[in-house]
């Protein structure tokens, strides 16, 4: 609960700072999402999900920073808790190519992770750029340092392959899908695949409704975790500035 309070404070502070920055420069943008599900009576469920992303661009550079927090209980018993903080820097080499570096810290004990740190370095190829469509491909190197629930720390070297596609219609809706393939070169039998399609409907110039399906497949999950496949469906309101 202390982490939840801290994250709420962090998101609130980030959101306020984003509003101030958005007023002073057109190169700064913020996107924050929140969803809450509370059910009582015969079924008692509470699920809270918060996510934020801040983007600042200048000349050929772009910096992103954000994170998410998911917390859920069922009949008073903790059933879901995961969070991450991340940052990324992109440098354009041309209209279609660029380089990037990124860092992420995450925790998810229900997937057998006390913590995981990911450091990325890679190449970006912008395949499609138009008012309606965007298609990006990424390839690069990832170094991961993770500790499992038995306090065993592993350092892993991985190659990373990813793509993202976004389509914006003329009728105030958009669709986006992101996917990521991680090949573990330290333990070659371990492969992770992520996919995240989402659908967004604009309600105003600032507020929109979004539904997201996030899937994670790990063919070699951490010790103590039975299932190789995890998924999370979220729907909530998004504020953009």
Quick one: pLDDT at residue 26? 52
Predicted local confidence at residue 4, as pLDDT: 46
| The pLDDT of residue 212 | 93
The pTM is what?
0.83
One-character DSSP codes across 175-235: EEEEEEEEEESSSTT-EEEEEEEEEEEESSSSEEEEEEEEEEEESSPPTT---SEEEEEEE
How many CB atoms neighbour CB 196 within 10 A? Answer: 16
Which CATH code is given to the segment(s) 2-240? 2.40.160.40
Dist CA 78 CA 49 (whole Å)? 14
Tokens of 5: 């309070």
d(CA 33, CA 68): 9
Neighbours of 208 (CB within 10 A): 19
DSSP 141-158: EEEEEEEETT--EEEEEE
pLDDT < 50 regions, the chain: 1-8, 11, 18, 21-25
The token duo for 120 is 């990325």
């Amino acid at each position: 609960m202390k982490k939840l309070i801290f994250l709420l404070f962090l998101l609130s502070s980030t959101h306020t700072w984003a509003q101030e920055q958005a007023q002073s420069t057109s190169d700064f943008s913020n996107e924050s999402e929140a969803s809450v599900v509370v059910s009582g009576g015969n079924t008692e469920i509470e699920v809270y999900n918060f996510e934020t992303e801040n983007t600042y661009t200048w000349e050929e550079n772009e910096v992103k920073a954000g994170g998410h927090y998911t917390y859920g209980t069922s009949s008073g018993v903790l059933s879901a808790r995961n969070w991450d903080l991340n940052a990324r820097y992109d440098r354009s080499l041309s209209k279609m190519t660029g380089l990037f570096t990124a860092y992420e810290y995450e925790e998810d004990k229900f997937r057998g992770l006390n913590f995981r740190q990911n450091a990325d370095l890679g190449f970006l190829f912008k395949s499609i750029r138009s008012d309606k469509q965007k298609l990006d491909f990424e390839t690069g190197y990832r170094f991961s340092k993770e500790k499992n629930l038995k306090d065993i720390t592993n350092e892993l070297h991985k190659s990373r392959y990813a793509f993202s596609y976004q389509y914006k219609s003329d009728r105030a809706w958009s669709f986006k899908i992101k996917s990521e393939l991680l090949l573990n070169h330290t333990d070659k039998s371990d492969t992770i695949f992520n996919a995240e399609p989402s659908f967004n409907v604009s309600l105003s110039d600032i507020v929109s409704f979004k539904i997201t399906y996030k899937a994670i497949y790990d063919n070699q999950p951490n010790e103590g975790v039975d299932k190789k496949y995890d998924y999370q469906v979220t729907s909530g309101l998004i504020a953009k500035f």
